[in-house]
Chain A
Amino acid sequence: MERNPMRRQLASMRKSLFDQGYLDEQFMELEQLLDDANPNFVEEVVTLYYRDSARLILNLDRALERRPLDFSKLDGLMHQFKGSSSSIGAKKVKAESTLFREYCKSGNAEGCMRTFQQLKKEYATLRKKLETYFQLARQIGPMESANRPK
């Protein structure tokens, strides 16, 4: 019973993540993969994502410090990053990645750097939100975590 308010809270949290454009349908795809044997699948994937993408962010940071900028390398790195981000449904992050790649293709150094800063912000924001979300979900209990859209 006590879980009800928590569940409600969780549900609303989830909804807002979608409404505000932080997550897209792909996240729902992941949620559909949850089952009894893998009740925390989504959280596991997201954790893995943040761990792996941290490396990419680092590489991108480094690459952006070089002068002159190696756009093709940057594009390559961002392509990877975009792939990961899109697979967990990180909508805003993905949008920033796409923009970044556009700037790379046109050789716009300033655009790249600016976009990258924005991307990092979105990336951090989403991370925090998801952490909170999963924390709550765990509190509620594995089988009763956020709605799983059918």
Chain B
Amino acid sequence: MKNSIGGKGSMSTASSITTWKAGDVVSVPDQFPAGLRVLVVDDDPTCLIILEKMLRNCSYDVTKCNRAETALLKLRENRNGFDIVISDVHMPDMDGFKLLEHIGLEMDLPVIMMSADDGKDVVMKGVTHGACDYLIKPVRIEALKNIWQHVVRKRKNEWKDLEQSGSVEEGDRQPKQSEDADYSSSVNEGNWKSSKKRKDDEDETDDRDDTSTLKKPRVVWSVELHQQFVAAVNQLGIDKAVPKKILELMNVPGLTRENVASHLQKYRLYLRRLSGVSPHSCNPNNSFMNPQDETFGPLSSVHGFDLQTLTATGQLPAQCLATLQAAVLGRSTAKSSIPMPLVNQRNIFSFENPKLRFGEGQQQHVNNNNKQVNLLHGIPTTMESKQLTSLRHTSQSIGNLNMQVAPHGAQSRQNNSSLIEMGQPLSRVQILNDSTVPLSVGQPIVPNGIAANVSTRNGIPENIRAPGYNLVSQTSSILNFPMNHASELPVDTFSLRSTLGMSDHTSKGAFHEDFNSEIKGSGGFLPSYDVFNDYQYKSQNWELQNAGMILDDSQHSNSLQGNLDLTQSVLVQQGFPSGQINGQNRSVPIVSKAMFSAGDSTEPGNLLNVNHHLNTIRADNTVRVKSESVADGNPSNLFTDHFGQEDLMIALLKQQQGIAPVENEFDFDGYSLDNIPV
């Protein structure tokens, strides 16, 4: 329908107008706003057809959808294909506000909500969810004539932000022109905008290496950027975090207060979803027994430890902790899932070994509180080169894993391994924090040990061995934790875990098994450690994170079904990166899809488990690794980890939103693997 023009011929210019799309040089600026590309979503066919006709009569380029899912699909397929979205509030397959959130997060397009409902509450909801306008049905054509202003406004703000940050060339700017209510200059704007967009795009891409493929003027929240953002927020305290201060802390050229503000809003929503409580910065100073513990029960002690310790030791960036905590909080709702993380961790260990048998070995120990010490011992062994190498290998297979993650248990270990290899940054782990628990126990120790281990990820098994080992002992108490949990882990988690840590494992069905075997009874901590190290080590982890993020989306749907917590999804995401590692940046989304669908169709729980597992593993590893690895001098890796976390968070966030993004969840441009600095 896009270019079907009414008999008026007024639309004939539409095609030429399309040139002023993002990234294009405007050839017919004076046509603006004609050719504005509108996507209208409404399940009511009568309304839909009327809106379509009205919009066509406004000389807009209209695409109509009667389902939110279809709309999201279209938007994802063609990210730069639309300028604005108009959506009904009440739709059968998805709440209009959820769609709004999705679009805001993924594509950052202006969205207009509409409804026959004119109650103040509904309108307010539109505002809080970020709608740029709210129309009451029946909609009149006059109301539609000026919707282009939202597009202009948004773009202007973006440009302005860039300009303010000084990163945009001044020459091209004619700043306040389009801002005037006098839209006669809109024509020029169209032209100006398009060229500006390009510059902005370029600027933005420069700022974020991953956005090179994107030619949108919008700020892309890459993992690094988001990590910086979270760090700033945590530093200020989530309650006190105001865009201006965050912006200052972040100190990113080209970033505007508006960018930060809108991102903060999304972040807050995300955190709210995770924890159900107002998010507050996770300060490393939290005692081991942070609140999360409570929710997780047995894990609590462990969780708190891990994160706290690491953070305290400075190894774990506050952000990570925050992320993890957030993840933990988010997960707290899913107690059952907790066990998974533990398990996952074990799996991580198993990563170490080509097979990630670790996990299996761990399993046994896990159940055995008394075996804490054993775990520790076991870890070093596993952690050593074996793990690292195995992790590496596994990362390769992560891509495969991703696919597998979805089915519970069915997932081959490979996925796990690949995930591990990814060396998911600690950030990921952070989320998992809950699950990781044991590892971090040895707070003070942990860092040491972890560092040792962490560094090993990069392939320096030795490091892990010694230090990790030491830590392990201290963390023994923590170790116990996982063990206990392991037993609790639902079967689904098994599948997850296996995927995570067991690259070589052919899906054994019970992740635990793998673990155990891998871990050799070391209690699993170590193995996870190793896995973790690998994660971090590899920028791929990043991808994992991204994948995780993607998975999150899918997970999200799963979670919807199976109330999977975010962490789970995170795990899944992690699995993704592996796919990426393989050099297919985009494979992740695909994988995630596969995973997702698998999860969806089969057992969402499984997918969740995986995620959960991943998260936990990562969290643990990251946590630990961070403390350790930092020493190793792979700060960048750690950083990446963080990113992964962020990505995960974002993915989680998306999931939280309840959207079942089977599709490229990975639409987070900012978080795409492309950006992963390897």
Tally of chain A residues near chain B (CB < 8 A): 26
State the CA gap A92–B49 with chains docked (Å): 22
A41 touches B138 (CB 8 A): no
Q: Is residue B45 contacting chain A, with contact meaning CB distance below 8 A?
A: yes
CB contact under 8 A between A87 and B46, given known A33-B57, A38-B53? yes
Chain A 67-91 near chain B by CB (<8 Å), digits 1 or 0: 0000000001001101110111100
| Chain A residues, CB < 8 A from B117 | 79
| Chain B residues, CB < 8 A from A82 | 116
B45 touches A36 (CB 8 A): no
CB contact under 8 A between A88 and B46, given known A32-B141, A36-B7, A80-B90? yes
| Chain B residues, CB < 8 A from A1 | none
B47 touches A87 (CB 8 A): yes
Indicate the member of B44, B90, B141 with the most A CB atoms within 10 Å: B44
State the CA gap A38–B90 with chains docked (Å): 29
State the CA gap A82–B385 with chains docked (Å): 68
In chain B, positions 72-106 with a C-beta closer than 8 Å to chain A are 88, 90
B44 touches A52 (CB 8 A): yes
| Chain B residues, CB < 8 A from A109 | none
B46 touches A26 (CB 8 A): no
B46 touches A37 (CB 8 A): no
From the candidates B7, B8, B50, B90, name the one contacting A30 in the complex (CB within 8 A): B50
A22 → chain B, closest Cβ, in Å? 15
Indicate the member of B43, B45, B46, B117 with the most A CB atoms within 10 Å: B46
B141 touches A33 (CB 8 A): yes
B53 touches A83 (CB 8 A): no
Q: Nearest chain-A residue to B139 (Cβ)?
A: A87
Q: Is residue A35 contacting chain B, with contact meaning CB distance below 8 A?
A: yes
Q: Is residue B140 contacting chain A, with contact meaning CB distance below 8 A?
A: yes
Chain A 32-64 near chain B by CB (<8 Å), digits 1 or 0: 110111100100110011001100000000000
From the candidates A29, A48, A76, name the one contacting B141 in the complex (CB within 8 A): A29
State the CA gap A88–B137 with chains docked (Å): 11
A29 touches B44 (CB 8 A): no
In chain B, positions 1-37 with a C-beta closer than 8 Å to chain A are 5-8
Chain B 392-406 near chain A by CB (<8 Å), digits 1 or 0: 000000000000000
B226 → chain A, closest Cβ, in Å? 38
A67 → chain B, closest Cβ, in Å? 25
B7 touches A83 (CB 8 A): no
A37 touches B47 (CB 8 A): no
A35 touches B50 (CB 8 A): no
A84 touches B46 (CB 8 A): yes
| Chain B residues, CB < 8 A from A88 | 46, 50
A48 touches B53 (CB 8 A): no
From the candidates B7, B57, B138, B141, name the one contacting A87 in the complex (CB within 8 A): B138
A33 touches B53 (CB 8 A): yes
| Chain A residues, CB < 8 A from B49 | 44-45, 48
State the CA gap A51–B140 with chains docked (Å): 23
Q: Is residue B454 contacting chain A, with contact meaning CB distance below 8 A?
A: no
| Chain B residues, CB < 8 A from A53 | 46
Q: Is residue B54 contacting chain A, with contact meaning CB distance below 8 A?
A: yes
A35 touches B8 (CB 8 A): yes
CB contact under 8 A between A38 and B6, given known A29-B141, A32-B141, A89-B138? yes
From the candidates A36, A48, A79, name the one contacting B90 in the complex (CB within 8 A): A79
State the CA gap A49–B84 with chains docked (Å): 26
A80 touches B141 (CB 8 A): no
State the CA gap A58–B43 with chains docked (Å): 17
| Chain B residues, CB < 8 A from A83 | 44, 47, 88, 90, 115-116, 137-138
Q: How large is the interface on B (under 10, 10 to 19, 20 to 34, 35 or more residues)?
A: 20 to 34
A77 → chain B, closest Cβ, in Å? 11
State the CA gap A48–B66 with chains docked (Å): 14
A87 touches B140 (CB 8 A): no
State the CA gap A41–B7 with chains docked (Å): 12
| Chain B residues, CB < 8 A from A41 | 53
B121 → chain A, closest Cβ, in Å? 13
Chain B 44-71 near chain A by CB (<8 Å), digits 1 or 0: 1111011001100100000000000000
State the CA gap A84–B49 with chains docked (Å): 11
B138 touches A86 (CB 8 A): yes
| Chain A residues, CB < 8 A from B115 | 83
| Chain A residues, CB < 8 A from B45 | 48, 52
CB contact under 8 A between A84 and B141, given known A33-B53, A35-B8, A36-B8? no
Indicate the member of B6, B50, B140 with the most A CB atoms within 10 Å: B50
From the candidates B6, B8, B50, name the one contacting A45 in the complex (CB within 8 A): B50
State the CA gap A33–B7 with chains docked (Å): 11
| Chain B residues, CB < 8 A from A52 | 44-46
State the CA gap A52–B53 with chains docked (Å): 18
State the CA gap A26–B137 with chains docked (Å): 10
Indicate the member of B5, B90, B138 with the most A CB atoms within 10 Å: B138
State the CA gap A83–B43 with chains docked (Å): 11
B341 → chain A, closest Cβ, in Å? 38
CB contact under 8 A between A26 and B116, given known A35-B7, A41-B53, A87-B44? no
B44 touches A84 (CB 8 A): yes
B466 → chain A, closest Cβ, in Å? 63
| Chain B residues, CB < 8 A from A79 | 90, 116-117
In chain A, positions 119-143 with a C-beta closer than 8 Å to chain B are none
A81 → chain B, closest Cβ, in Å? 9
State the CA gap A26–B50 with chains docked (Å): 11
A129 → chain B, closest Cβ, in Å? 18
B46 touches A45 (CB 8 A): yes
B46 touches A48 (CB 8 A): yes
State the CA gap A52–B45 with chains docked (Å): 7
A105 → chain B, closest Cβ, in Å? 11
From the candidates A33, A76, A80, A84, name the one contacting B54 in the complex (CB within 8 A): A33
B7 touches A38 (CB 8 A): yes
State the CA gap A87–B116 with chains docked (Å): 9
B116 touches A86 (CB 8 A): yes
A84 touches B90 (CB 8 A): no
A49 → chain B, closest Cβ, in Å? 4
Instruction: Known A-B contacts: A48-B45, A83-B138. Give 19 more (CB < 8 A).
Output: A33-B50, A33-B54, A35-B6, A37-B5, A41-B53, A48-B46, A52-B44, A52-B45, A80-B43, A80-B44, A83-B44, A83-B88, A83-B90, A83-B137, A84-B47, A86-B138, A87-B46, A87-B139, A88-B46
Give A contacts to B, CB under 8 Å. 26, 29-30, 32-33, 35-38, 41, 44-45, 48-49, 52-53, 76, 79-80, 82-84, 86-89
Considering the complex of A and B, which 10 residue pairs feature the smallest CB-CB distances, nearest first?
A37-B7, A36-B7, A83-B116, A87-B138, A49-B46, A37-B6, A86-B138, A26-B138, A84-B46, A87-B47
Give B contacts to A, CB under 8 Å. 5-8, 43-47, 49-50, 53-54, 57, 88, 90, 115-117, 137-141
Complex A-B: 7 CB contacts under 8 Å = A33-B53, A33-B141, A36-B8, A38-B53, A45-B50, A87-B46, A87-B137
